[in-house]
């Protein structure tokens, strides 16, 4: 997929290590029996970072979520490291918090920082026993191997059913200072965000207050991560964290204004880029779907309409089968929790093979099935909805529903 | 599947024709090119019927829904016939209401009743052109062939991707009078009710006021049809109607009391039976799933928890794959919109091969994978949740998510 370009921002390599002062590492500590697959990752900042985070709203929460919230409260929103494992979600385990706390303590000891400065996260199977030994045995090697090239090893450690690495980073200027913001994400199934989704760790060298950092993150989650759905299942372990170390040298951003806007846009670009990667790599996906909803009465309506379409199993199957079934798109808009006049809705299907109007004023149109089939045969499908009843717009992202989704999830644990 | 037995109620044959005074018919009028498949059905009552109905909450509504609502308002809640077609949903068509109205006028003319005494319904593809000719050409033959054995021809006419006929009827006594209540339903995909689902027509010879009829229907929809999910997509054409002709000869039920309770229970039994048939025949389903939620703080919580579990794509895939993945069940309870203490939840898996506790106090248990695999290899799977925080309970129904669901819905229109 081609990256969206934004003036003043340049995509760069490095992921979570793109920003000054950050190093990372990853390795196999034995939680995953496949030795070639990393299962434990670490991100470290040489200076204390103002930190913002959003978490899953699932009432069944992974122990690491509870421990991270406790740590950031105790540290006053300051963090210096992330420790994250895959293959075991450390959720619904009687000793989950104990293991998560001890993991942080071990990491802090190796790094010479406080345990409450450690963000801890886990992803994998829910309700499996969890033991401290793998973490204890490998923490020294993990911390000892931290490097500015360690982002790849770290992102490998958080992948589960992901088939591609999800990293993104940009370079930009604030007050003439060169700034960087980058991140890594994991996630392929159990993706239907409510507040945030999957695991996503972002680092930056911009100097920004904890308050403005949280404000930017909360705003941008709404139009990026919360507009993503793979399968309608909101995970128990979702978390997005942003660590801002401040080594770029700009004067600290403490209020809205030009510098805040530049920073917020950088956060948007990286999170948008990661979200699109997550959608394209949804479990079993053969096609990426973007639904754009325009001329809505307000942003909330646009988000709900677009998200309802990309979440519909029937729309997803139709895209998989290359069936230009506009009725299912209208149906999904119709059951979204929004107040709209359905007799004003236009729907267009678009891809690199062209575009075609399939619905006008809420009514199905006759169109060339041959042209529609060509459009839907591509790997990136765009469903463009015009509600014709306002000025707000939003996008949502997802993927098709395929035989492979069923296969992957019929036999996940083994 | 074995039918649930209830004292005082006997299952009988006859579906919509089981009650005195009702006849039915079905035939192929050419909407469906497969001549062996009926696509037009009719149910007729020799006397005027008090009528109750519930409709889809989808804002994109089929024209027949709008016309039926208009008719029942105009007739003061009295109906004498149902006319229903499959293969075309008559939804999102510019001339949809016009065709639905004309269809009712033609039916009324043949039957010698008023157009506003006709309930009209359609199911099939959304947004396809619809023409009056097939209805006009065959209305005489359809009405002419009405018979007390016509229930099979009628239920055949409403089937779409259904693989089995869904009919149910019971016999029972009110004031010593022999009463009957029966119905037919269609539906396989696009099933995630909000208010009602699919098409479902019920007839009875009990004498009951329109008000008490609507009250009974609205109450029972909540614990039957609204607890059913095949794929999370709420259809545009859902409707449940109940016609009560009164020929059983009981004194009219006009308030709550013993007779009302007997009648309401009959309605529950038939709707429950139909709902379980719908779940077992969900598109592509290889397994029926019932989730029972007990000891909830209130019924609404129990319904939402149970429905969230049967709606989860990941739970459905796990059941398909025979994977006793209790984490996904807990996850689905956790993202339901309910206020509960997750640390009190127990989860048990059950089938004809036995039962096994997989979660206690919100924590995953170690269990015999071999025993669990045997249990999940059966065709009827029961997920028993105990919230241990109240006295309310509810059940929800669904099916597994399979390769065939994707296949059927990747190529539905053609």
Of A122-136, A244-258, B82-96, B224-238, least confident by mean pLDDT is B224-238
Among A248, A241, A200, residue whose Cα is nearest residue A218? A241
Active site residue A68: no
The pLDDT value recorded for residue A231 is 66
Task: Say which range, A256-265, A383-392, B2-11, B223-232, has the weakest mean pLDDT.
Answer: B223-232
Q: What pLDDT score was predicted for residue A413?
A: 57
Average pLDDT along chain B: 89
B231·A126 Cβ contact <8 A:
no
- Please give the sequence-ordered ranges of beta strands (E in DSSP) within B205-265, or none if there are none: 239-244
Nearest CB neighbour to A126, from listed B232, B235, B331? B331
Q: How far is Cα A225 from Cα A216, in angstroms, rounded to an integer? A: 13
Tell me the chain A residues in contact with residue B407 when contact means C-beta distances shorter than 8 Å.
403
Nearest to B396 by CA among B235, B279, B287: B279
Q: What is the pLDDT of residue B191?
A: 57
Q: How far apart are CA B372 and CA B377, in angstroms?
A: 9
Beta bridge partners of B120: B83
Q: Are A389 and A270 in contact (CB under 8 A)?
A: no
Task: Mark yes or no for CB contact A323/B413 under 8 Å.
Answer: yes
Q: What are phi and psi of A236, to 5 degrees?
A: -85, -10
The CA distance from A290 to A309, in Å, is: 9
pLDDT in tens, B27-61: 999 999 989 899 999 999 999 999 988 887 777 78
Residues A18, B182: Cα–Cα separation, whole Å: 68
pLDDT band for position A94 (cuts 50, 70, 90)? confident
Q: How far apart are alpha carbons B239 and B196 in whole angstroms?
A: 6
**Residue B359 host element (H or E):** strand B354-360
Residue from B91, B103, B123, B197 carrying the catalytic annotation: B197
Q: Residue A189: which pLDDT band, with cuts at 50, 70 and 90? A: low
Length of chain A in residues, anyone? 414
Contact predicate A6/A273, CB 8 Å = no
Residue B390 has pLDDT above 90, yes or no: yes
pLDDT tens for B179-236 read: 999 999 887 666 554 433 478 889 999 999 999 999 999 898 888 887 777 666 666 7
DSSP string, A178-210: EEEEEEEEE-SSS---SS--SEEEEEE---B-H
Helix, strand, coil percent content, chain B, rounded in steps of 5: 35, 25, 40
Residues 6+ apart with CB under 8 A from B352: B378, B380
Across the interface, whether the CB atoms of A331 and B403 are under 8 A apart is answered no
Distance CA B334, CA B336 (A): 6
A174–chain B Cβ distance below 8 A for any pair:
no
Confidence at residue A281, expressed as pLDDT on a 0 to 100 scale: 82
Pairing label, strands B166-174, A392-399: unpaired
Average pLDDT score over residue span B351-364? 93
> Nearest-CA distance from B254 to chain A in Å?
35
- Choosing among B94, B346, B403, B410, which should be mutated to test the A contact, i.e. which has the most A CBs within 10 A? B410
Give chain B positions within 8 Å (CB) of A233: 312-314, 328, 331-332, 335
| pLDDT of A412 higher than 80 | no
Which chain A residues touch B198 with a CB distance below 8 Å?
none
C-beta separation of A348 from A309 below 8 A:
no
What is the β-pairing status of strands B346-351 and B10-11? unpaired
**Chain A contacts of B58, Cβ < 8 Å?**
331, 334-335
**pLDDT score at B182:** 92
Residue B349 pLDDT class (50, 70, 90 cuts) = very high
Whether B82 and B71 have beta carbons less than 8 Å apart is answered as no
pLDDT digits (tens, 9 = 90+) for A150-188: 999 999 999 877 888 889 999 999 999 999 999 998 876
**Given this model, what pLDDT does residue A197 score?**
44
DSSP characters for B68-95?
Answer: HHHHHHHTTSEEEEEEEE-SB---S-TT
Size of interface A-B (CB pairs under 8 A): 219
Mark which residues 257-296 of A lie under 8 Å from B by CB: none
Among A293-297, B143-147, B231-235, the least confident range: B231-235
Closest residue on chain B to A327 (Cα): B126
Task: Name the DSSP letter for residue B337.
Answer: S
- Going by the DSSP 8-state scheme, the letter that residue B256 receives in this structure is S
Distance CA(B356)–CA(B337), nearest Å, equals: 27
């Amino acid at each position: 997929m081609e990256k969206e370009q934004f003036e003043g921002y340049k995509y760069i390599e490095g992921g979570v290590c793109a920003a000054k002062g950050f190093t990372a590492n990853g390795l196999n500590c034995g939680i995953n029996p496949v030795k070639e697959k990393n299962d434990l990752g670490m991100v470290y900042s040489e200076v204390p970072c103002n930190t913002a985070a959003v978490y899953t709203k699932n009432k069944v929460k992974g122990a690491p979520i509870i421990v991270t919230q406790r740590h950031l409260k105790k540290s006053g929103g300051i963090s210096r490291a992330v420790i994250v494992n895959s293959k075991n979600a450390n959720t619904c385990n009687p000793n989950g918090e104990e293991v998560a706390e001890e993991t942080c303590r071990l990491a802090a000891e190796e790094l010479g920082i406080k345990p409450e400065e450690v963000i801890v996260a886990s992803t994998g199977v829910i309700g499996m026993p969890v033991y401290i030994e793998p973490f204890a045995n490998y923490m020294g090697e993990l911390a000892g191997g931290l490097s500015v090239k360690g982002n790849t090893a770290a992102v490998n450690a958080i992948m589960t059913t992901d088939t591609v690495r999800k990293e993104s980073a940009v370079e930009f200027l604030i007050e003439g200072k060169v700034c960087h913001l980058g991140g890594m994400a994991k996630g392929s199934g159990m993706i239907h965000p409510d507040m945030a989704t999957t695991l996503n760790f972002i680092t930056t060298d911009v100097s920004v207050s904890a308050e403005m950092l949280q404000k930017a993150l909360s705003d941008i989650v709404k139009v990026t991560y919360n507009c993503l759905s793979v399968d309608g299942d909101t995970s128990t372990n979702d978390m997005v964290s942003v660590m801002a170390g401040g080594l770029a040298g700009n004067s600290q951003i403490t209020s809205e204004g030009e510098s805040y806007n530049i920073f917020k846009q950088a956060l948007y670009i990286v999170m948008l880029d990661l979200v699109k990667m997550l959608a394209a790599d949804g479990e079993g996906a053969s096609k990426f779907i973007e639904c754009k909803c325009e001329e809505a009465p307000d942003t909330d309506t646009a988000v709900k309409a677009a998200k309802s379409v990309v979440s519909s199993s029937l729309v997803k199957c139709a895209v998989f089968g290359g069936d230009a079934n506009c009725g299912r798109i209208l149906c999904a808009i119709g059951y979204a929790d929004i107040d709209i006049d359905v007799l004003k809705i236009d729907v267009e299907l678009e891809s690199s093979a062209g575009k075609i109007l399939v619905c006008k004023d809420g009514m199905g149109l006759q169109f060339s099935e041959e042209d529609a089939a060509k459009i839907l045969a591509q790997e990136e499908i765009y469903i463009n909805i015009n509600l014709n009843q306002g000025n707000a717009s939003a996008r949502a992202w997802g993927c098709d529903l395929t035989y492979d989704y069923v296969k992957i999830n019929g036999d996940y644990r083994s």
